Amino acid sequence: MIAVAFLLMAAAQGPNCASPVTQADMNQCADRDYQAADAALNRQWKVTSEAMKTADREAGAQDGRPGYAASLLEAQRAWLKYRDTHCVSEGYQARGGSMEPMLVSACRAELTKQRTEQLRKLAESN
């Protein structure tokens, strides 16, 4: 009875991502890493987007061309499509296998971390 309670507690806490054991654990840990990277991206997006809106206000009219914020939004939408499509193709290394979700999540996490840094630098330069 105690062993069952211990197993239920361990299952509720999720895998130890410092040293995952099963492929299911590895998949879950890769997804957690991606979720954390995505949350950081969303926080940075707010900062960078606001910086671009400020730059637009300071620059005034730009001959009918899109402003900083509009260009950033268009670029971000294109980047999201690229990231997701590219990472699906990365997962094809194990297409249909139990490892495929881990490969996709790891790719998304890495590209998302890189994009977060790009957005940080962009906000700092304006």
Cβ atoms of 33 and 108 closer than 8 Å: no
89 inside domain: yes
Condensed to tens digits (0 to 9), the pLDDT of residues 5-42 reads 555 555 567 899 999 999 999 999 999 999 999 999 99
59 inside domain: no
104 inside domain: yes
Number of domains in the chain: 1
Q: Which residues contact 113 (CB under 8 A, 6 or more apart)?
A: 37, 40
98 inside domain: yes
Q: What is the sign of the dihedral through the CA atoms of 102, 117, 75 and 123?
A: positive
126 inside domain: yes
Domain membership of residue 90 as a residue range: 69-126
Condensed to tens digits (0 to 9), the pLDDT of residues 80-106 reads 999 999 999 999 999 999 999 999 999
8 inside domain: no
What is the rounded distance in angstroms from the CA atom of residue 124 to the CA atom of residue 77? Answer: 21
User: pTM value?
Assistant: 0.85
